Amino acid sequence: MVKQQQRMDRPWILEAVPLMVVALITAHVLALVYWIYRLATEKQPQRRKAH
């Protein structure tokens, strides 16, 4: 009963912090994957030999 009471006394923001950290990490990983995909699939300009 005492442990349950201590858990209820914690502010809600502390309960949300781990979820926010996971969400931020997920967003950054997805952005990195998308950035690498865009770099890999963009058309490179044709280079001409200028001799």
Q: Which two tokens stand for residue 39?
A: 């770099």
Indicate the pTM of the whole model.
Answer: 0.63
pLDDT digits (tens, 9 = 90+) for 8-19: 688 988 999 999
Reference 42, options 51, 31, 50, 34; nearest CA is: 34
Exposure string (b/e) for 5-32, b if CB count within 10 Å is 16 or more? Answer: eeeeeeeeeeeeeeeeeeeeeeeeeeee
Summarised one tens digit per residue, pLDDT across range 24-36 is 999 999 999 999 9
Q: How far, CA to CA in Å, does 29 sit from each of 3, 17, 18, 39, 41? A: 36, 18, 17, 15, 18
**What is the 8-class DSSP label of residue 43?**
P
